[in-house]
Chains A and B, each alone.
Chain A
Amino acid sequence: MPLTSQDPRVLPQLPNAATSEAPRPRHGASAATTRLAPLLRRLLANTLPPLIAVALLGLIWQLLTGAPGSGMPSPVQIWSEAHDLIVDPFFNHGSQDIGLGLRVLVSLQRVAIGFGLAAIVGVLLGTLIGQSVWAMRGLDPIFQVLRTVPPLAWLPLALAAFRDANPSAIFVIFITAIWPVIINTAVGIRNIPQDYRNVAAVLRLNSIEFFWRIMVPSAAPYIFTGLRIGIGLSWLAIVAAEMLTGGVGIGFFIWDAWNSSRLPDIIVALLYIGVVGFLLDRLVALIGRLATRGTAA
């Protein structure tokens, strides 16, 4: 190793060394453009394909549905009939005539409550069955059966129990999101390396300290996997639940639009749901990445 980082000549030389290895230096481009060009190219490489794909899909869609008398709305027709929904998500003209952004917020509020409860209860229950062999033997079969029940199948029971639409919708979110949180937390707790348990034993950490100092950080990657699956399922379930319970959520909007044959509105709503679901997923993934920084050994 003749080159050391103390040598002041090394740093400016490195780019030269790199380019001289390449057989064809590009058109004598200046240093700034050689540094910017790859960045721009990467940006284009990431954004261009989806843009082209969307444009092509829109074109095909327009060609298939553009003819008069078509049963499905074409993109042009959606723009002309529902552009108030697209352009202004937050208008408010009275109880059922509000922008889709406001409706999404109402749905998100339900998801936040239901999912938040599911996260807390799920992590605690998951910790219990991850820690205790007896709790796992007793509860795991029950959970495995219950988690396969479709979200909407819980709704009649919830309506009977709560006698109100809103808590029932929240309950459906809760019961949908909780299973992946429980199961992943339990796996994470069971996978805490024996080394960390030994350290805790030597330090005589009590169970509360053990929970916060060892269990939570060690199982965090698993917990966040569960939370991410859970939030996705919540968003799937809220739309269906709202279709049946009514109110001002985005799900009821779709049902309402169907009953009054406003197909373009439905398509706009679908786009809203897709984008919000995508953002929710990314949000939980981001929180997970921040929270589990350095957890991977």
Chain B
Amino acid sequence: MSGEFLRIEGVGKTYVSGGKTSHVLADIDLAIDAGEYISIIGHSGCGKSTLLNIIGGLTRATTGAVILDHSEVNSPGPDRAIVFQNHSLLPWLTAYENVRLAVDKVSGGTRSRAERHDWTLHNLELVHMAHARDKRPAEVSGGMKQRIGIARALAMEPKVLLLDEPFGALDALTRAHLQDQVMQIHMKLRNTVIMITHDVDEAVLLSDRIVMMTNGPAAQIGQLLTVPLARPRNRLEAASDPIYLNCREAVLRFLYERHRYVEAA
């Protein structure tokens, strides 16, 4: 059942505003297996966030369809949990309450109160944030906010975890630390992940496959690259691994030779 889990079929997006039509995405076809880690990389404005929002159901595709586990996606839902770039935690709730809100909503009918409490704590522990469970988002660092956001998404037990440049706003050290944690969680839970990024190393280190997008307007998938690195992966070992270096070079060539960023394209 290769590529049967999540299928993106002929997805295109056109915005019409003030009589002007702009084609953002055209003919995106992609088939993803359960448990795969997919990165989508491309220059700013190439529509990668739009694609993620279409998979998440926040945006409707103009053409084509997204089919997850044999049913079409046409509205947002907890089976496609999104970790937003700006964490989007509710500032009036503590870390625990932010995760608990998701847990109560998603498994309110299937788990008892005590089970929901345990599940909330379990997910906070998974991202090493149990110690800050009673802190509000304003009281913790950017990396910790993002980890709470990941815990909230994982707590929904999504079929697909959608990460929208999850580490984009973090400093390099925090980012590396979080990437390692996400890798560990992926190893442990074997969940299907789609991650938007513009960081080449991040894409190569984390992904099974990298989807490279051409520049807009009417962005398409320019190239699909499989990263045949064995898991678990180690940042330091990978840095000198010829497979890693080849993949890295392939992505760089795509981004900077074949599809150079064009200002105001």
Which A positions have Cβ atoms within 8 angstroms of B? Answer: 195-196, 198-199, 201-205, 209, 213-214, 217-218, 220, 292-297
The answer for the CA separation of A195 and B58 in the assembled complex, in Å, is 11
Q: Which residues of A contact B88 (CB under 8 A)?
A: 195-196, 198-199
Is the C-beta of B102 less than 8 angstroms from some C-beta in chain A?
A: yes
Considering the chains assembled together, what is the distance between the CA atoms of A292 and B138 in angstroms?
Answer: 14
Given contacts A294-B136, A296-B138, A297-B137, contact A204 B77 (CB under 8 A): yes
Question: Do B91 and A213 touch across chains, with their CB atoms under 8 A apart?
Answer: no
Q: Given A198-B76, A202-B77, A203-B106, are A294 and B101 neighbors across the interface (CB < 8 Å)? A: no
Contacting residues, chain B, for A198 (C-beta < 8 A): 58, 76, 82, 84, 88
**Contacts A/B (CB < 8 Å), 28 sampled:** A198-B76, A198-B84, A199-B84, A201-B58, A201-B76, A202-B56, A202-B76, A202-B77, A202-B78, A202-B81, A202-B82, A202-B156, A203-B105, A203-B106, A203-B156, A204-B76, A204-B77, A204-B105, A205-B105, A209-B105, A213-B90, A217-B90, A292-B92, A293-B92, A294-B92, A295-B91, A295-B92, A297-B91
A195→B78 contact, CB < 8 A: no
Given A196-B88, A199-B84, A294-B138, 17 more pairs with CB closer than 8 A: A195-B88, A198-B76, A201-B57, A202-B77, A202-B78, A203-B101, A203-B105, A204-B78, A204-B105, A205-B105, A209-B105, A214-B90, A295-B91, A295-B92, A296-B91, A297-B137, A297-B138
Residues of A within 8 A of B136 (CB): 294
Q: Which residues of B contact A201 (CB under 8 A)?
A: 57-58, 75-76
User: Smallest Cβ distance from A271 to chain B, in angstroms?
Assistant: 39
How many Å lie between the Cα of A205 and that of B58 in the bound state?
14
Say if the beta carbon of B13 comes within 8 Å of chain A: no
State whether the Cβ of B80 lies closer than 8 Å to any Cβ in chain A.
yes
Is the CB of B86 closer than 8 A to any CB of chain A?
yes
B142 to chain A, nearest CB (A): 12
- What residues of chain B lie closer than 8 Å to A297, measured between beta carbons? 91, 137-138
- Which residues from A are CB-within-8-Å of B75? 201
Closest to B90 in A: A196
Residues of chain B at interface, number, CB under 8 A:
24
**Minimal Cβ-Cβ distance residue in B for A203:** B105
Residues of B within 8 A of A (CB): 56-58, 75-78, 80-82, 84, 86, 88, 90-92, 101-102, 105-106, 136-138, 156
Closest to B76 in A: A201
> Which residues from chain A contact B81 at a C-beta distance below 8 Å?
202
A294-B77 contact in complex given A201-B58, A203-B101, A204-B105, C-beta closer than 8 Å:
no
A-B complex: 6 closest residue pairs judged by Cβ atoms: A195-B88, A201-B76, A297-B91, A217-B92, A203-B105, A294-B136
Chain B residues near A218: list those with CB within 8 A.
92
Expressed in whole angstroms, the Cα–Cα distance for A139 and B137 within the complex equals 37
Q: In whole angstroms, what is the CA distance A220 to B92 when docked? A: 10
B-chain residues with CB within 8 Å of residue A294 when the two chains form the complex: 91-92, 136, 138
Q: Are A203 and B102 in contact (CB under 8 A)?
A: yes
For the complex formed, measure the closest distance between the CB of B145 and the CB atoms of chain A, giving whole angstroms: 10
Residue numbers in B under 8 Å from A203 (CB-CB): 78, 101-102, 105-106, 156
Q: Which residue of B lies closest to A297 (CB)?
A: B91
Contact partners of A293 in chain B: CB under 8 A: 92
